[in-house]
Amino acid sequence: MLYRTLPGTELQLPAIGLGCWALGGEHWGDDVDDASSLALIEGARERGVDLFDTAPLYGHGHADALLRRALGGTRHEVVIATKVGVRWDTPDGHPRSDLSPAHVVADCEASLVRLGLDVIPLLQTHWPCEGGTPLAATLEALEGLRQAGKVRAYGLCNAPPADLDEALALAPIASLQTPYSMIRRDFEAALRGRCGALGADGRWQQRLGVLAYEALGRGLLTGKFAAAPAFPESDMRRHDPRFREPAWSTLRPLREALRICAARVEVPPAALAIAWVLRQPGVSVALVGAKRLAQLDEDLRALEVIGRARVFEALAPFVARARP
Ligand SMILES: NC(=O)c1ccc[n+]([C@@H]2O[C@H](COP(=O)([O-])OP(=O)(O)OC[C@H]3O[C@@H](n4cnc5c(N)ncnc54)[C@H](OP(=O)(O)O)[C@@H]3O)[C@@H](O)[C@H]2O)c1
């Protein structure tokens, strides 16, 4: 495993972390089952994937319960990154972000109990507040949790540039979790320069950790779909325009180039898509949403090809033209 240190902390993160959203059993179709999820978590651990990204929202606590069950006592030795803020006890039942200090503290306490931890290694705000709480007040609550020893480090997910600037000015935030893939590259223009910079020695200096999600484009970059897939109603990708025309055809040259290049270096296309993300300046970790151990084994092969510059040179023009 390749490790990356989260700047300003003692946290060592494996370059590939397991995203646990699908394991919650909602929004990702009908083929998620607890037995496979438990085997996946145990297998991840055996393979050095010591970073698990979860959230109270993932199955309303179910992903957390599976993590606790599968990891057992080793849950204290790995990095569990979880989130705060999203409530689902809303009048219309739609999840909503509440980053008021009281809710941040209550949500964190509930996660500590559910995960069976004394301290949460990395706590992230799930998405920006929709309840009017100033970011400064949220950060003060997170810093209070850190100083009370309930959280080792904290960061933001899905932060727009202005929030990231404000947070960097006000608090020792350790991380940003954000979407980034060959087909979703807003990070480059909007956020990367805030997360690090090229040093005088020409080397990239990371200012805070960046955990990239959707490295696989929700499966679109794995090469497994010969035609636009028909997802069941239980799978949110049914409503994702990238899996429908016109984006499906627009992205065909990239999918085809991935398939050909992956065959040339003898790894699955998923491995190339993840390695592409890990090669980008500013990225610390790619979170991958494998559902089964066989998928994770394919995804981990990214580590074999990170250094294969020529294959990424061959892919570059296709990535440049891939705008869904
Ligand atoms: N902070 C946030 O707001 C936020 C938002 C989104 C995600 N995340 C995090 O990021 C994690 C990853 O999710 P994501 O949305 O970014 O999705 P992703 O990793 O781009 O794609 C995940 C999907 O790809 C498919 N897959 C994975 N490996 C594969 C392989 N080797 N071959 C074929 N298919 C494969 C699986 O779905 P199928 O088998 O069903 O096709 C899987 O569910 C989440 O679990 C979560 O931890 C966080």
At 290-316, the pLDDT tens digits run 999 999 999 999 999 999 999 999 999
**Residue closest to 170 by CA, chosen among 203, 137, 192, 201:** 137
- Structure confidence at residue 314 (pLDDT): 97
CA 136 to ligand 1 center in whole angstroms: 31
pTM: 0.97
pLDDT in tens, 89-132: 888 889 999 999 999 999 999 999 999 999 999 999 999 999 99
- Structure confidence at residue 151 (pLDDT): 98
Q: Which residues, judged by CB distance below 6 Å to any ligand atom, belong to the binding site of ligand 1?
A: 19-22, 28-29, 53, 126-127, 157-158, 177, 213-219, 222, 224, 268, 270, 287-291, 295, 298-299
d(CA 105, CA 147): 13
Q: Which amino acid is at 305?
A: V
What average pLDDT does the segment 210-238 reach?
Answer: 95
The answer on pLDDT for 324 being more than 70 is no
d(CA 294, CA 300): 10
CA 109 to ligand 1 center in whole angstroms: 27
**Bond into 179 cis (ω within 30):** no
More confident residue, 81 or 1: 81
- Structure confidence at residue 180 (pLDDT): 98
What mean pLDDT is reported for the chain? 96
- Please name the residue whose Cα sits nearest to atom 43 of ligand 1: 289
